[in-house]
Amino acid sequence: ELKVEQNPLFLSMQEGKNYTIYCNYSTTSDRLYWYRQDPGKSLESLFVLLSNGAVKQEGRLMASLDTKARLSTLHITAAVHDLSATYFCAVDNSRSQGNLIFGKGTKLSVKP
């Protein structure tokens, strides 16, 4: 059974600092997705990572994928308050028709 673990689950940061969220998964998969969710809202797609070594950047966020280590990272550079949200990684369950297995999410709070 495919399992996805994120850490940390809670992260309190000061504005201007850097930090990394980790996403480990238990079986082979070559597609990984990062989503952002604001309280009471739906999920906003951030990154789609499709191959080993993939790196994507958007603003202060950068995501990478190492399929051999079964690890993805979401790096936050010089955090600002607007980045406060819950971040989910999701792994494509290749054994099925492509449903996603989500981690529990990392709740990020950026404080002045």
Closest approach of other proteins to the CB of residue 93, in Å? 8
* Beta-carbon count within 10 A of 60 CB: 14
Binding mask 11-50 for other proteins (x = CB under 8 A): --------------------x-x-x-----xxxxx--x-x
Beta strand 100-102 pairing with 85-92: antiparallel
Could you tell me the two tokens for 17? 């600092």
Give CA angle at 93 (85, 42), nearest 5°.
25
> Which residues in 46-105 contact other proteins (CB under 8 A)?
48, 50, 88, 90, 92-93, 96-105
Interface positions with other proteins (CB under 8 A): 4, 31, 33, 35, 41-45, 48, 50, 88, 90, 92-93, 96-105
